[in-house]
Amino acid sequence: DSGVTQTPKHLITATGQRVTLRCSPRSGDLSVYWYQQSLDQGLQFLIQYYNGEERAKGNILERFSAQQFPDLHSELNLSSLELGDSALYFCASSVYGVNSYEQYFGPGTRLTVT
Partner 1 sequence: DAKTTQPNSMESNEEEPVHLPCNHSTISGTDYIHWYRQLPSQGPEYVIHGLTSNVNNRMASLAIAEDRKSSTLILHRATLRDAAVYYCILGGNNAGNMLTFGGGTRLMVKP
Contact residues for partner 1 (CB under 8 A)?
2, 4, 31, 33, 35, 42-45, 48, 55-56, 58, 90, 92, 94, 97-98, 100-108
Nearer to partner 1, 18 or 89 (CB): 89
- Integer Cα distance of 104 and 70 in angstroms: 20
Nearer to partner 1, 40 or 71 (CB): 40
Minimal distance in Å, beta carbon 55 to partner 1? 5
Minimal distance in Å, beta carbon 14 to partner 1? 25
- SS3 assignment, position 83: helix
Q: Of 43, 59, 62, 18, which is closest to residue 103 (Cα–Cα)?
A: 43
Nearer to partner 1, 20 or 45 (CB): 45
For residue 103, give every residue at least 6 positions away whose Cβ sits within 8 Å of its Cβ, in sequence order, or none: 33, 92, 93, 94
Q: Output Rg (C-alpha) for the chain, integer angstroms.
A: 13
Nearer to partner 1, 14 or 39 (CB): 39
